[in-house]
Structure 1
Amino acid sequence: MVIQPGDFAVRDLSYVIRSAEEKDAEMLSEVRLQADGETENLDREKGEAVIDEPGFKKLIKEDTESRNNLFLVAEVNGRIAGFARCEGSKLKRFSHKVEFGVAVLKDYWGYKMGEKLLAACIHWADSNEIKKMTLSVLETNEKAIKLYKKYGFEVEGILKGDKVLSDGNYYGTIIMGRLNQE
């Protein structure tokens, strides 16, 4: 699905949140690879499960045509600085929900880019009869957990010892959900 773009200014940075377009595919591949290497809060290490330009073109096309999918980018001066995606299911029993994911390049942390992407996804979901949004977050990512709770997400469960990080320790993944009660 496609949304109307939104302009934002936080401190000294202006950016646009808009739907991903096929022309973004090459840059998205680069941004995802870079983001994976900048934090352990994401599922992949840098270079794992790479999506190349054709892969992103296909994903963007499918998401644009689907009623239950949304792919957004945050753009700063013509460059993609972050992205978010809501992925729904083609199965009827799960057609009321989407899974949310987000990534923002480290240079743009602190500019509320992740929050604006989240808010845009929630607005889209609430406006399109999506009754539930789910996400998973590393238990040590306290800022993200606090943000998700602020937007109505609740902890639904914890997958203990779910991820091993560079320190060799195992950490839990928190499963969170938000129900649209309207």
Structure 2
Amino acid sequence: MITYKAIQLKDGRECVLRNAEPEDAEDFLRYFDISHGETEFLTTYPDETEHNESIVSVRLKTQKESEHDIEIVAIVDGKLIGSAGIHMVQDRDKTRHRAEFGITVMKDYWGLGIGNELTAMCIEIAKEAGYLQLELDVVADNEAAQNLYKKHGFIEYGRNPRGFKTRAGKWQELVLMRLELDK
């Protein structure tokens, strides 16, 4: 699936949303390390990844060529500052209708409308790919993200009170959310 969209941010700058390319691997790793070090809301810490430029390049190429999965990047002033993607839960008859949705934007770019646009694009792409349900987990303390997802129609369907355990030993409750795309 090929996608491209230029949007104007709330601060007047332009942001380009497009497919992640294999050539983005180095920038993607830099963005990943920064964004995953800025908040306790994400699944991993920057040093937990086994990614390297070669692995990321292959993954981005595969996703760009996929009919089911996609990774979209957000570029502001020539800098990769965010991404969002959808990925099939499992390629089995009983689960092919479900996709996981994930999104990250670097902290300096929060509140500019990037997350909203990335979410909307992923929902449309998921529908085009034939998915019937998008799913995500979000840290309960991340109210801004929950509000974004609810704005797009996601509903809570459960909670995991011990979903994450931070390095500081703090439990983080995860809110399980889904969006039914066939309604």
For 1:56, the equivalent position in structure 2 comes to 56
Equivalent position amino acid for 1:125 in 2: A
For 1:112, the equivalent position in structure 2 comes to 113
For 1:160, the equivalent position in structure 2 comes to 161
For 1:133, the equivalent position in structure 2 comes to 134
User: Size of the alignment, in residue pairs?
Assistant: 181
Give the drift of 1:161: 1.6
Where do 4+ consecutive residues of structure 1 move more than 3 Å?
Answer: none
Equivalent position amino acid for 2:78 in 1: G
- Structure 2 CA distance, aligned partners of 1:19 and 1:66? 11
Q: SS at the partner of 1:94?
A: coil
Instruction: Map residues 14-163 of structure 1 onto 2, 5 A cutoff.
Output: 14-88=14-88, 89-163=90-164
Equivalent position amino acid for 2:35 in 1: A
Equivalent position amino acid for 1:80 in 2: L
- 5+ residue gaps in structure 2? none
Which stretch shows the higher mean deviation, 32-41 or 83-92?
Answer: 83-92
Give the drift of 1:83: 0.5
- Structure 1 CA distance, aligned partners of 2:84 and 2:77? 18
- Any conservation in 2 of the 1:33–1:50 contact (CA below 8 Å)? no
Which stretch shows the higher mean deviation, 146-155 or 157-166?
Answer: 157-166
Instruction: Give the TM-score of the pair, scaled to structure 2.
Output: 0.93
Deviations 1:97-142 (A, max 9, x none): 2101111111111111111111100011122321110011001000
* Aligned-pair Cα RMSD in Å: 1.4
Give the drift of 1:38: 0.5
- 5+ residue gaps in structure 1? none
Instruction: Give the TM-score of the pair, scaled to structure 1.
Output: 0.94
